[in-house]
Amino acid sequence: MRRKTWPFGLRKAVFCVAFCRLSQRKRPHIETPHLCVMLQKFCNWLLYKKLGWKKDVTVDHPDKYIICLAPHTSNVDFLIGQLYMRAENMRVNFLMKKEWFVWPLGVLFKRIGGIPVLRSKHTRMTDRIAETARQEKTFHLCITPEGTRSLNPEWKKGFYYIAMQAGIPILLYGLDYKNKLIQCIKSLTPTGDIDKDMVEIKSYFKDFTGRHPERFTTGN
């Protein structure tokens, strides 16, 4: 069976993001703003011009927020997200399975904002992340509520509990491959009525088409 590979442009973009972060952290005395500006322009060109994606983002992004991103049906979602974050000059961390954080990928993922998740200690980690969000002046975290690229009607609720405990909004970001659209036109502040709020959140995403539509469901 033929092995699937990422398009060269996408692989190059993620490598450039990691290199820029590495340059800033390991050698802060070397000026790298020019490199990062070039990277931003490159990602902007690649995402919007070369790949043909569009954005429709009308929601304010405060100093602290959780991004709820769906549908998540392919590893390509990660690359599109990274291109978007860099093109828009956003700094957003993301959660990822601990199994991905092996050398050399682990170094790259940490450099671009990855946080490894040990699923057996998920509840404790949720509390720890919420506490970090309360203490920090800025906090930006992206979570895919499906928790898997496979069909899953039972969405994970960790993102909701983090936002509720930290008292911060949830920004609803949809990836629509049918229209090549990245959209965020709604945010939600948890009310504590998780069943009602999850219905509202899932309703927002029901019309988005993932890269593999057969793997996405809101369970409604």
pLDDT in tens, 63-80: 999 999 999 999 899 899
Assess contact for 174 and 70: CB atoms under 8 A. yes
Q: Compare 110 and 168 and report the one with higher pLDDT.
A: 168
Q: What would the two tokens of residue 183 be? A: 């959209």
Half-sphere exposure of 100 (CA within 13 A, CB side): 14
Assess contact for 40 and 144: CB atoms under 8 A. no
pTM for the model stands at: 0.79
Give the pLDDT confidence score for residue 14 in this predicted structure.
52
Q: In whole angstroms, what is the distance from residue 83 CA to residue 93 CA?
A: 14
Q: What would the two tokens of residue 35 be? A: 């490199």
Assess contact for 144 and 137: CB atoms under 8 A. no
- Looking at the chain, the whole-number percentage of residues with pLDDT higher than 90 is 56
Half-sphere exposure of 200 (CA within 13 A, CB side): 15
Half-sphere exposure of 78 (CA within 13 A, CB side): 19
Is 55 in a helix, a strand, or coil? strand
pLDDT at 132 over 70: yes
The tens digit of pLDDT for each residue in 6-28 reads 454 455 555 555 544 444 444 44
Q: How many angstroms separate the Cα of 56 from the Cα of each of 37, 67, 74, 83? A: 23, 15, 21, 15
Residues in the chain: 220
Strand 114-117 to 170-176 pairing: unpaired
Assess contact for 177 and 81: CB atoms under 8 A. no
The tens digit of pLDDT for each residue in 153-179 reads 889 999 999 999 999 999 999 999 999
